[in-house]
Amino acid sequence: MMSGDKVKEYEKIKQVYNENPNGADLLFLCRSCYGGVVRFRKADGYMSTPCGIHAPISPREFSERVSIWHTRTLGTEFLQMSYEDAMTKTKTGDLVYCDPPYSHTQTILYGAQEFRLEKLFEVIAECKRRGVYVALSIDGTKKSGKVDCDLPIPKDLFEREVFVDCGRSMLKRFQMDGLTLEQEHVSDRLLLTY
């Protein structure tokens, strides 16, 4: 449990982590950093995200979630590889879920400048050809449905589109710092190749 000035203590832990990267500090930083978005500097791997304005999840609640996810992920194999490689390994009948950077708001947040949605669409098309099912969550409507986000989606790639209600926008909640969020309802668009 952390005590003392929140930002000062956060920066101290961030410094310790950057001098000697370790799992325990990274876990703390993930829970407390701005928007929960951990950014590493490209040049030297320095973790640079500032302190979040939210109250981080308590260690007790966090521990409960870890237990739940421990059970849920039993028997799961986690692999670190590019999405191109991972999707190429799939076989007919497999299901792939893609949650790429949202083109309208997250380019800077996730340092995703190298990410190209067009390339992902190509890989999805290749999966579809092999009988692999793909679900893709991507920009839906923002500003309570007043703004529609258009994307360069290839014709005939997706068979269905569903909108999943995500409640209030997490990002806006941080940015507006307590102001009313009535206008900021977000729905994610889930595109399905089947």
Ligand X SMILES: C[S@@+](CC[C@H](N)C(=O)[O-])C[C@H]1O[C@@H](n2cnc3c(N)ncnc32)[C@H](O)[C@@H]1O
Binding site for ligand X (CB under 6 A): 83, 99-102, 110, 112, 114-115
Contact yes or no for 103/134 (Cβ under 8 A): no
Residue 42 CB, shortest distance to ligand X, in Å, is: 12
| Burial of 28 (C-beta count, 10 Å sphere; 0-12/13-18/19+) | buried
Cβ at position 95, least distance to ligand X in Å: 15
Shortest distance (Å) from residue 108 CB to ligand X: 11
Gap between the Cα atoms of 67 and 3, Å rounded: 25
DSSP H or E segment with residue 193: none
Instruction: Kindly tell me which of 170 and 176 has the beta carbon lying closer to ligand X.
Output: 170
Q: Is the CB of 2 or the CB of 151 nearer to ligand X?
A: 151
- β-pairing, 95-98 vs 133-142, is parallel
> Which residue's CB is nearer to ligand X, number 6 or number 26?
26
Strand partners, 164: 188
Closest to ligand X by CB, 6 vs 153, is 153
- Give me the helices (H) in 5-99, please: 6-19, 23-32, 59-72, 83-88
Q: How far is the CB of 38 from ligand X (least distance, A)?
A: 9
